[in-house]
């Protein structure tokens, strides 16, 4: 969740509140327009996409006497490198409006229509996705340096303190990536292993993958069907009932090449008690997903990558909840959320979930906030 003051948290938890939305723009690192009111629209997040974040909003065509129509390529809302910075605010009574950053996004399309301008923007990873290599790229340094080479200066990178750096493929291996920069980045992170997430402040944050690291201890409580609980206002949770074998695995094999040219590999098996466990009724044989990567040069590296991918792929089979709530403007994609069964005495243990998708309206008449929550499950070995 986005960090805000205790006063704002209390307003969100226990009282009705008025939501405000505004944005400002920048181009080449310089502010080009400020205090632009958002009159319609909102934000979506889908963790299954390479660029999960998307914003679609309407703003006035004229603000403080300035015409924001995107006719000029360098106009504030044009789509040639301009960035949209969204801020939301909540009225906290005598303290006024407390504003907080919702995110920084790349404008990809804008169009004026009468008195409004419709703006579409996406997460900054789009800059990496569209920047295919002009010449072959050889990743031959440490993993942190490789990530910086792939992402900066388009997006600043911040590494978690508990993410241990290691060497990438040796230069003698002659490993080249010919085209897709984002594919190279994702493979680098899968084999490190590490996880990436765009932060509202506009930087890329890298941390040990949550599939192989301990879940965060500060998950935020989410309850339903209790009239005296926080976030209980018009809250609905329903279970998504579906089942498919498509793409399900109970084993991941990671393969690489060591410094002498020999093959190294390791496998991770689903040893949980889940329905798709190895040697269970799903299939008594291994059903593998194979990762072959030049980033893997030792067996321990292969094992770590296999563990990560097994946990990541297994998440899609965990129990899913759909939620519809009064907009909670500080909730972000991949946030941890506890779901209770609704017993008045909370006698049943809470279910830990991740926010897999969200649809957040920025304005009061935008309707409810919709979430897809995926059970966090257990860490696989």
Supply the pLDDT for residue 298: 92
Whole-angstrom distance between the N-terminal and C-terminal Cα of the chain? 28
Tokens of 294: 């030049």
Residues of the chain with pLDDT > 90, as a percent, come to 53
Q: Cα(191)–Cα(303) distance, rounded to whole angstroms?
A: 9
Q: Cα(353)–Cα(319) distance, rounded to whole angstroms?
A: 9
Supply the pLDDT for residue 343: 52
Place of tokens 């243990």: 349
Higher pLDDT, 366 or 216: 366
Residues of the chain with pLDDT > 70, as a percent, come to 85
Q: 11-15, 80-84, 151-155, 215-219 — which is least confidently predicted?
A: 215-219
Tokens of 250: 């109970």
- Strand partners for 292: 255
Quote the DSSP letter at residue 216.
P
Give per-residue burial for 219-249: e unless 16+ CB within 10 Å, then b. Answer: bbebbbeeeebbbbeebebeeeeeeeeeebb
Q: What is the DSSP string of 90-137?
A: EE-GGG-EEEEEEEEEEEEEEEEETTEEEEEEEETTHHHHT---SS-B
Classify the C-alpha dihedral 367-44-6-202 as positive or negative: negative
Cβ(12)–Cβ(2) below 8 Å: no
Higher pLDDT, 154 or 348: 154
Q: What mean pLDDT is reported for the chain?
A: 85
Residue 242 pLDDT exceeds 50: yes
Q: How many helices (H) and strands (E) does the chain have?
A: 5, 21
Cβ(5)–Cβ(13) below 8 Å: no
- Highest average pLDDT, of 120-129, 133-142, 252-261, comes from 120-129
Tokens of 261: 């040219």
For 75, 120, 375, the CA distances from 58, given in Å and listed in that order, are 16, 9, 35
Tokens of 124: 């900054």
Residue 112 pLDDT exceeds 90: yes
* pLDDT confidence tier of residue 217, bands split at 50, 70 and 90: very low
Supply the pLDDT for residue 349: 61
Supply the pLDDT for residue 15: 63
Residue 224 pLDDT exceeds 60: no
* pLDDT confidence tier of residue 111, bands split at 50, 70 and 90: very high
What are the φ/ψ torsions at residue 7 (nearest 5 degrees)? -60, -45
Tokens of 305: 């990558």
Task: Summarize the confidence of residues 145-159 as an average pLDDT.
Answer: 95
pLDDT in tens, 198-213: 999 999 999 986 544 4
Q: pTM of this prediction?
A: 0.86
Q: Cα(101)–Cα(85) distance, rounded to whole angstroms?
A: 8
Task: Summarize the confidence of residues 151-171 as an average pLDDT.
Answer: 90
What are the φ/ψ torsions at residue 109 (nearest 5 degrees)? -165, 140
């Amino acid at each position: 969740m986005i960090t805000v003051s205790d006063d704002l948290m209390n307003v969100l938890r226990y009282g009705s509140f008025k939501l405000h939305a505004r944005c400002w723009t920048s181009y080449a690192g310089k502010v080009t327009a400020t205090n632009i009111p958002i009159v319609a629209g909102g934000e979506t997040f889908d963790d299954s996409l390479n660029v999960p974040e998307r914003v679609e909003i309407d703003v006035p065509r004229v603000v403080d006497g300035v015409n924001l129509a995107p006719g000029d390529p360098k106009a504030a809302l044009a789509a040639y490198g301009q960035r949209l910075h969204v801020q939301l605010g909540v009225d906290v009574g005598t303290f006024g409006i407390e504003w907080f950053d919702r995110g920084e996004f790349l404008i990809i399309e804008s169009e004026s229509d009468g008195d409004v301008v419709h703006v579409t923007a996406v997460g900054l990873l789009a800059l990496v996705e569209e920047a295919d290599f002009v010449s072959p790229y050889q990743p031959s340094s440490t993993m942190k340096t490789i990530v910086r080479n792939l992402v900066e200066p388009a997006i600043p990178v911040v590494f978690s303190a508990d993410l241990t750096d290691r060497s990438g493929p040796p230069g003698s291996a002659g490993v080249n990536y010919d085209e897709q920069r984002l594919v190279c980045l994702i493979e680098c992170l899968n084999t490190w292993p590490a996880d990436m997430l765009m932060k509202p402040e506009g930087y890329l944050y890298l941390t040990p993958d949550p599939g192989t690291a301990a879940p965060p201890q500060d998950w935020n409580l989410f309850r339903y069907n209790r009239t005296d609980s926080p976030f209980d206002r018009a809250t609905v949770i329903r279970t998504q009932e579906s089942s498919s074998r498509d793409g399900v695995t109970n084993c991941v094999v990671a393969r690489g090449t060591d410094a002498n040219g020999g093959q190294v590999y390791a496998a991770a098996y689903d040893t949980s008690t889940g329905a798709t466990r190895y040697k269970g009724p799903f299939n008594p044989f291994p059903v593998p997903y194979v990762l072959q990567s030049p980033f893997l040069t030792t067996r321990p590296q292969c094992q770590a990558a296999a563990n990560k991918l097994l946990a990541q792929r297994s998440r899609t089979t965990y129990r899913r909840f759909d939620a519809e709530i009064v907009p909670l403007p500080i909730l972000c994609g991949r946030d941890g959320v506890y779901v209770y069964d609704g017993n008045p005495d909370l006698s049943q243990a809470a279910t830990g979930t991740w926010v897999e998708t969200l649809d957040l309206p920025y304005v009061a008449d935008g309707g409810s906030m919709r979430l897809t929550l995926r059970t966090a499950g257990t860490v696989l070995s």
